[in-house]
Amino acid sequence: MMFARQEFRRILVYGRPVDMRNGFDGLEAVVRASLREDPLSGDLFVFINARGNLVKALLWDRTGFIIISKRLERGRFRLRSRANKLVLTPQSLDLLLDGIPAGGQALD
């Protein structure tokens, strides 16, 4: 996937389900309050809904926020860890976005 080939400082996944009605402000609030990270850092922040069929990613690109979302028609987005905050490699992000369980380094 081309998106995962971009250069990010880190790829952080929030390990708890997120309400996907959240837009820019809601996801930014999750980054600040739950992940305790700076949304302007250049990190890519990834969120998964409770059903596991929808993922959103939030990124600051110097001039504004970008949200990218993907819905799986079959299967689920799954993490191998139950940690609240994970760092993924670009390869693990590719796996996750393809619906293959992905692992990462737990930070909490």
Give the closest residue to 89 by CA, choosing from 4, 20, 14: 4
Domain ranges of the chain: 17-106
Angle at 92 between CA 90 and CA 96, to 5 degrees: 115
What's the confidence (pLDDT) of residue 45? 98
Global pTM? 0.92
Amino acid 5: pLDDT? 53
* Mean pLDDT in residue range 17-33: 98
Token pair belonging to 104 = 């990462």
Q: 4 falls in which pLDDT band (50, 70, 90)?
A: very low
